[in-house]
Structure 1
Amino acid sequence: MYLHGNGSLELIGAKRKSLYKSFDHPTKTWLPKQLLKFKTNLTSTISVSNLSTGKFSLQLSYKNIGFYFNLSSPQKYRTLDIQNGEKFSSGMDLLKFSFKKEGVRYTATRNHSLFLRLVPKGQFNIYRITDGKLEIFYLSIQKLYGECIYPTYRGNYGVCSRDKCSCPGDSRYFNKLNATANEFSCAQDAPLSCQNITLHKFLTLENVSYFGFVSQFVDIDVESCKMACLNDCSCKAALFQYKSNLNIGNCSLPMELYSLRNNTGVVFNDNALAFIKVQMQSIIIAETPSKEQKLPLVLLMVLHVSAFLVLSIGACYCYKRWRKKKFVLQMQRRDNSNDSSSLHVTNILRKFSFEDLRSAMQNFQIRLGRGGFGYVFEGVLHNSTKVAVKRLGPDVKQGKKEILSEVETIGNIHHFNLVRLVCYCAQRSNRLLVYEYMFNGSIYKWIFHRNHAQTLTWETRKKIIVQIAKGLEYLHDYCNPNIIHFDIKPQNILLDTDLNVKISDFGLARLIDKDHTHVMTMPKGTPGYMAPELIGGRNITVKIDIYSFGVVVLEIICGRKSSNSWQGDYLIDTLKIKAEENQLSDLIDEQSEDMQNNKEDAVRMIRIAISCLQKNLYKRPSASMLVKVFEGLMDLEAAADYSFLNFILEETPPDIIPSASSKIIPSVFNKLIIMQSK
């Protein structure tokens, strides 16, 4: 490793070959004379202490710098003009930008020691070091709005002005959080519930705008805009912009609401109205009924009391019968270690109560998908961190086993290509795992459910494959104890904003002590990705993940599923035929022109995948070997015989025949027999 005088760190390999230069891979900091390419983004971190990818990014163009807040799609909140050769002044001339064909460099006009950085709240700052002291100059502040230009400057729902900040409307609906000079945010007193939209109302804010105004409806009247928000469970506000007539304007329905901007004193092209959706239920209870309402309320109360008495008498007999049983069960739950309410796996991760997470998840209204053991929901924690929450199913024994496995497995490990577990909840039957949110979902939708705009390039697919291998290398070689994932498949390979890989779902994972290389286990995983040795359930090694990795690589390169049981179409059969005919290029994704232009490299990747599918697990490469191959430090010997791609199961030796009483093994066995014998 060599640290150059300009601050670039370079990793040099065999024959003085340069393997890595930090200047070519900037993250949040831009150094003087460092060429920032037009296709390269700087991204912020979540916080000063949490270095995971944050919500903010910047992109260079030939004329300016665009700043984006990354929600479901990037939304621009600021543009900074930098013309060729122009100096940027902030009290003194500090920077001079110079444009090249492929990107932009900058220099300090007075030979200052400085650098630029995109910080967690979205500010882009100059940091100058003078006599050991650090000075800060703010590049991205706008004259009209000041620091109100930043989407999260006043947290969720905060209305930002130059001289003060406030919560929307009546204090009965919102509470101030962290109301200090540096921190401010608002929280709804009663979280929105979609069970009855008649309990929803709007707080009207005049002359208030929002950075992320994306028009869902154009040339619409204001009442239709509000009604569209009421009928949309995920809508948090109805934002309306118009010129002179409330009957014609544009309507935006944000699903998340961050800082709002008070336009008082600001010349704005359009008039702006913000209608904040709030829950009325707690307010209705607190209000005193009018005289006209008293009689219906009294009658309603009488009916309720009567019904209550009848039901109480009817339930009394049943209650006596199961009261004793319930009491015994409650005592067992308190004293028995099987009670997940007492589950506390690690001191590193924060444990939340179910009520806290239900509030953050807005009563689990926004569902992202379904996992192997339950549903996945979208939510936002109190610190504005967007998260994905897996709520495990009602099976107490199975749910506890999975949460123990996931928390113990990834609660104490940290790697760039492994999804980060933020916190968890284990309160009786309520078991939730909270992960960092992946804005681009799994590679499954990118490979199999895509449109032309989402077709992955060869370089992106190669990056995804290499990063999966690096994640497996960390699990297999650098964790103590080592970890077998057991369920590597496209649905468990997630992508962040920059399409970086995060391996997820460790519910089936197993730990292996350094002194052992094998484990015994029942067959588990997903048919089509399971290695042949899993049928026996013995001598299981980390190489089963390598087999699954090989199948995933084939799917990424070929752009098709490994099996299609409806049509009896199996990629493994076609792979064997094309390999024996030396026509592997026929398998490359035909929907991608870029893949067709890189056939030679793609075929080389298919051959690496074939080596991972060896029936003899000792012939499969390890994850560390694969990483070295991808980095050009070694080569794999190509398979000369492709008969192993048949995967016809040989007779299982009597000493390792699985128990016939298992209900899992025969089903998996039959599926594999059908798939592999075709």
Structure 2
Amino acid sequence: MNRAKTLPSILLIVFIHQFCTSLDTITINQPIVDGNIRVSTGETFALGFFSPGKSSYRYLGIWYNKISEKSVVWVANRDSPINDTSGVLSINSHGNLVLNNRYQTTPLWFTNVSALPTNNCIAQLLESGNLVLFHSGSAIWQSFEHPTNTLLPNLKLGLDRRTGLNRFLTSWKSSDDPDTGNFSVRINPEGYPQLFIYEGHVPKCRAGYWNGVGWSGVPFMQKVGFIFSYSYVNNENEISYSWNVVNGSILTTGVLNESGFFHRLKWHEDKGRWEEFASLPRDQCDSYGLCGAYGNCVRRNGEIDCTCLPGYQPKSPQEWYRKDGSGGCVRKNQTALCRNGEGFVEVTNVKAPDTSVARVLANLDLKACKDECLRNCSCTAYASMGVTEGSRCLTWYGDLLDTRVFTEGGQSIYVRVDALELAQYANKRKDLLARKGILVIMILSVATAVSSVVLFSYCLVRRQKRLSQNGQHEMFTSSSSTLPDDHPREKELDRSGSDPHLPFFDIDTIVEATDNFSNKLGEGGFGSVYKGQLSNGQEIAVKRLSKQSGQGIKEFMNEVQLISKLQHRNLVRLFGCCIHKEDKMLIYEYLPNKSLDYFIFEKSRKQLLDWKKRFEIIFGVARGVLYLHQDSRLKIIHRDLKASNILLDASMEPKISDFGLAKLFKEHQIEAITKQVVGTYGYMSPEYAMDGLYSVKSDVFSYGVLILEIISGKKNTEYDKESPSLNLIGNVWKLWREGKGLDIVDYSLLEHSYPCEEILRCIQIGLLCIQEHPADRPTMLEVVFMLGNETSLPSPKKPAFVFRTQSGQESLITRGEVCSINDCIITMIEGR
């Protein structure tokens, strides 16, 4: 062989290979095999195969190309590693990016977009670090819409309301394993949107809401605003957040690590490493809800302390600070906070409470915001929106949770207090001003004594600084370590393996409060409910279980332990319990308007619920169930969601009650099975009623039945006179298919105008919830989104339990066809 001819050929092959591997594109004829890479045009990022840390597995990923430390920013097959170097990334015949093992036909990962002509498809690694799949020049898929653990400049976090796409970060399992970890960073759209770090479905840390220049809960990040430019969008199309670097030469990124900490990093070229300039959480006060409801977390000299907001005192003085957030504070006085001389006390330099229970009021200055909050008896606090949001304010309608004090930054909130607390605050303020005046006079009188002037000035500055750091005026800081003299006697519950910190009322307290059980509110299969009033004025409802009740000590303790750990405006509040010999009692907050079934199924009372109020109840129950399934510290399946278990407060706000049958799921548990099926006929999902299989989708089914009952004013167990074989579900389905969905609307609503489209939308959501197969039903997060947004809805499939057999039992319809009702606009209501 002629070596002179062979050498140039070899060099040419090497040159062609190097040229090909430096391209930034992938075509149907140019796949990537393990060992090759693609590099963006500016050579900032590279795409190829890698092994993380000490692992020998191979993954397809994107990393920084220029820096010495290999920093992976995106992984495709994070949950499907390759055992060897046989990986290939290519564009298949359907126009999808597909990752295969050379020896297997089943793809390990693919983009899953619509089938398109492959000759017009090309994938390109952009200089931003975004891998984009194009068809005829239009992007049809991009890695920025499916981030892993890294937030790059211009990468959006948040929800696309048009498509339902939710972009959020998830941690790696470990530094050697990019498998989906236990932590995530995402925007929660509930109430007023906020940025959270979650551990599983449980909030770990809250960055707050967008105040115009940054997230309200991380004021220290606003100091580096000259380095970054931010984009925040909240409209009918999307909720999103992204950032960019003002100086394009700076390499900076955000990484959610495997321990649940989000770090903002900057590449230090001289030191050859990433350096952290910000992180979240920073200290224990950033732990979500650490001090419980109405608590305020303060960090002094490196130590964490919990105080109470104005007008509140520790719920359990002996040990009110608890890591599970079940401690917190309760109101000092039980006088009504409704047009009874109440007002507001300012709390400064704090992170505003969780805005999941807040509303935004536009075109209102702070004075108008105060007036609006004062008019609504359910409003617990108000605050200005922030730095650049103009005349907008926030008002809270529920427990004030996850408030903390900042040494620098933060904002003021105004907490609703009763007339007594307000008067005490005013007197103490006058006293403080008087003392300041005396101090000024003393300083002036000894002006010639320079040392005295310096001493008094120093003391005044130190005092003001201490008051500012406390996050509220010293005179209304709750520091009481004992309960008021008239507080009901409590003991620690120390039996049946229960939580030793749950309030335990002795029998004498309950007998006295209920006047020896003389004021009965109602009675059911479990026993009776009595109204009572504690010695401090607090009204209560006592659920006294009968000896014949199916709810034994196990179910009783189950309800106590579960509901005592839950805090949500749409869940009934449990004050404590009492066990005396054979008696078992639960002590709840008293809700004056009884239960939902008291109104919607009674001809004389259903007229009190117009459509606006019914929709608020539908929405409120959905938010409560979503909290149980996803947003609480526990993952709970209620298993007995029905109209009689929805209680109504003075403002007709719904509160879910009765957790005796509830089940606690582990974080990643999807479903469970039981041999003992318990619940209420007419609300049980088919898989639970027949096979004992229950999951979050069982509650979704019950919720769907509840929606239809609220709209129609009829029980699901009632049957149509014209079609006696059809129950409510069957009748709704029949009318929906015929395009007569409005025919199910409660006759009492016909006396008032109501939004036809909104009611039809709710009927459709109800039908989606009661579909036979659990996988077809939406999650409660999707239900809340559908209720709150005018997005297109899928067509429901035929539901289960629509017919009654000759024996009177419900029958299950299997494999129902898809409804094809048109999404038409109803402009006229015809008489029936």
Query: Given the two structures, how large is their TM-score scaled by the length of structure 1?
Result: 0.50
Amino acid at match of 2:771: Q
2:620 partner amino acid: Q
- The one-letter amino acid of 1:445's match is Y
Aligned letter for 2:682? Answer: G
In structure 2, the CA distance between the partners of 1:51 and 1:488, relative to structure 1 (3 Å rule), is farther
Q: Pairwise mapping of residues 227-242 of structure 1 onto structure 2 (< 5 A)?
A: none
Distance 2:741 2:595 in 1: 26
Corresponding residue of 1:470: 623
What is the Cα deviation at residue 584 of structure 1?
A: 0.4
- Is residue 487–residue 536 contact of structure 2 (8 Å, CA) maintained in 1? no
Report the equivalent of 2:802: 646
Unaligned regions of 5+ residues in structure 1, if any? 20-27, 29-43, 60-64, 69-94, 108-112, 137-181, 189-339, 650-668
- Which of the residues 666, 679, 689 maps onto 1:525? 679
* Aligned equivalent of 2:448: none
Please give the alpha-carbon distance, in whole angstroms, between the structure 2 residues aligned to 1:420 and 1:433: 11
Q: Which residue of 2 aligns with 1:448?
A: 601
Amino acid at match of 1:542: V
Matches within 5 A, 1:539-558: 539-558=693-712
Residue number in structure 1 paired with 2:379: none
**Cα deviation 1:60-109 (Å, max 9, x = unaligned):** xxxxx9889xxxxxxxxxxxxxxxxxxxxxxxxxx999999x9999x9xx
Instruction: Using the TM superposition, give the Cα deviation of residue 535 of structure 1 relative to its aligned residue in structure 2, in angstroms.
Output: 2.6
- Say if 2:624 and 2:656, in contact at 8 Å, map to a contact too: yes
- Whole-Å separation in 1 of the counterparts to 2:742 and 2:425: 51
Q: Is the 8 A contact 2:762 2:787 kept in 1?
A: no
Contact kept? 1:378, 1:387, Cα under 8 Å: yes
For the residue of structure 2 that corresponds to 1:50, the secondary structure is strand
**Alpha-carbon distance in structure 2 between the residues aligned to 1:443 and 1:643:** 24
> How big is the shift at 1:571?
1.4
Following superposition, the deviation at residue 439 of structure 1 comes to 1.5
Deviation string, structure 1 residues 164-211 (Cα, Å, up to 9, x no partner): xxxxxxxxxxxxxxxxxx9999899xxxxxxxxxxxxxxxxxxxxxxx
CA contact (8 A) 1:114 1:126 kept: no
Q: C-alpha distance in 1, partners of 2:487/2:561? A: 33
The alpha carbon displacement at 1:354 in A equals 2.0
Cα offset, 1:628, TM superposition: 1.6
Partner Cα distance (1:628, 1:491) in 2: 25
- Structure 1's 453 and 66: CA in aligned 2 closer, same or farther, altered over 3 A? farther
Task: Indicate the residue corresponding to 2:714 in structure 1.
Answer: 560
Residue 510 (structure 2) aligned to one of 330, 346, 357? 357
Q: For 2:552, what is the secondary structure of its paired residue?
A: helix
Deviation at 1:551, TM superposition (A): 0.8
Aligned partner letter, 1:424:
C
Letter in 1 for 2:778: P
Question: Which residue of structure 1 aligns with residue 105 of structure 2?
Answer: none
| 2:223 aligned with 1:2 | no
Question: For the structure 1 residues 45 and 457, does the alpha-carbon distance in structure 2 shift closer, same or farther, using more than 3 Å as the test?
Answer: farther
Matches within 5 A, 1:73-92: none
Q: 1:600 aligns with which of 757, 765, 783?
A: 757
Spell out, residue by residue over 1:485-506, the C-alpha distance to the aligned partner (whole angstroms, 9 max, x if none).
1111111001111221210001
CA, structure 1 residues 187+615, in 2 after alignment: closer, same or farther (shift >3 Å)?
closer
Partner of 2:535: 382
Q: In structure 2, which of residues 735, 743, 747 is the aligned counterpart of residue 578 of structure 1?
A: 735
Once the two structures are TM-superposed, the CA of residue 577 in structure 1 deviates from its matched residue by: 1.8
Post-superposition Cα deviations, 1:403-457, rounded to whole Å, max 9, x if no partner, equal 1220122122222211111010123311110011111111112212254695212
Distance 1:99-1:615 versus aligned 2 partners, 3 A rule: closer
Q: Does 1:56 align with 2:354?
A: no
Aligned pair in 2 of structure 1 residues 636, 125: CA closer, same or farther (>3 Å)?
farther
Letter in 2 for 1:360: A
State the structure with more CA Rg: 2
Letter in 2 for 1:614: Q
Q: One-letter code of the match for 1:412? A: K
Q: Distance in 1 between matches of 2:728 and 2:624?
A: 25
Residue 508 of structure 1 and its aligned partner are, at CA, apart by 0.9
The answer for the alignment partner of 2:746 in structure 1 is: 589
Does the residue aligned with 1:423 lie in a helix, a strand or coil?
strand
Contact 1:532 1:647 in 2 (8 A): no
Q: Percent identity?
A: 28
Count, aligned residues: 402
Measured after TM superposition, the shift of residue 531 of structure 1 is 0.9
Unmatched segments (≥5 aa) in structure 2: 1-208, 218-231, 241-293, 295-309, 315-328, 344-366, 377-381, 385-410, 435-481, 815-832
Q: Show the 5 A alignment for 1:159-198.
A: none
Indicate the SS of the match to 1:529.
coil
Match among 765, 781, 791 for residue 624 of structure 1: 781
Q: CA deviation at 1:562?
A: 1.8
Match 2:640 to one of 487, 490, 512: 487
1: CA distance between counterparts of 2:776 and 2:670? 15
- Cα distance in 2 for partners of 1:99, 1:380 equals 31
CA distance 1:396–1:2, change in 2 (3 Å): closer
Aligned equivalent of 2:793, options 636, 651, 654: 636
2:769 counterpart residue number: 612
Other structure's SS at 1:431 match? strand
1:420 maps onto 2:573 in alignment? yes
8 A contact 1:56–1:122 mirrored in 2 = no
Give me the whole-angstrom Cα distance separating, in 2, the residues matched to 1:117 and 1:515: 38
- Contact in 2 for aligned 1:495/1:501 (Cα 8 Å): yes
Report the equivalent of 1:506.
Answer: 659
**Alpha carbons of structure 1 residues 631 and 470: separation in structure 2 relative to 1, 3 Å:** same
TM-score by length of 2: 0.42
Partner of 1:191: none
Partner residue in 1 for 2:826: none
Paired residue secondary structure (2:694): coil
- Structure 1 residue 473: deviation in Å? 0.9
Name the CA distance, whole Å, in 2 between partners of 1:489 and 1:343.
29
Which of 400, 405, 411 aligns to 2:558? It is 405
Query: Contact 1:531–1:544 (CA<8 Å) still a contact in 2?
Result: yes
Whose helix fraction is larger, Structure 1's or Structure 2's?
A: 1
Hey, what does 1:119 align to over in structure 2? 417
| Amino acid in structure 2 at the alignment position of 1:581 | E
- Retained in 2: the 8 A contact 1:46–1:120? no
Partner of 2:87: none
What amino acid is the match of 1:393?
S
2:574/2:588 contact within 8 Å kept: yes
- Displacement of 1:671 in angstroms is 5.8
Please give the alpha-carbon distance, in whole angstroms, between the structure 2 residues aligned to 1:387 and 1:98.
Answer: 30
CA distance in 2, matches of 1:469, 1:124: 36
Q: Could you tell me which residue of structure 2 aligns to residue 85 of structure 1?
A: none
Q: 1:47 Cα shift?
A: 6.4
Displacement after TM superposition at 1:57 (Å): 4.0
The one-letter code matched in structure 1 to 2:735 is K
Q: Structure 1, residues 114-150: CA drift from partner, whole Å, max 9, x if none?
A: 99764246666697899999779xxxxxxxxxxxxxx
Give the equivalent residue in structure 1 for 2:234.
13
Could you tell me which residue of structure 1 aligns to residue 389 of structure 2? none
Would the aligned equivalents of 2:335 and 2:537 in 1 still touch at CA under 8 Å? no
1:406–1:671 Cα change, 3 Å: farther
Q: What SS does structure 2 have at the residue aligned with 1:432?
A: strand
CA distance in 2, matches of 1:501, 1:345: 28
SS in 1 for 2:671: coil
**SS at 1:561 equivalent:** coil
* Alpha-carbon distance in structure 2 between the residues aligned to 1:368 and 1:432: 15
Do the aligned residues in 2 keep the contact of 1:483 with 1:511 (CA within 8 Å)? yes
Return the offset for 1:642: 3.3
Q: Distance in 1 between matches of 2:561 and 2:795?
A: 38
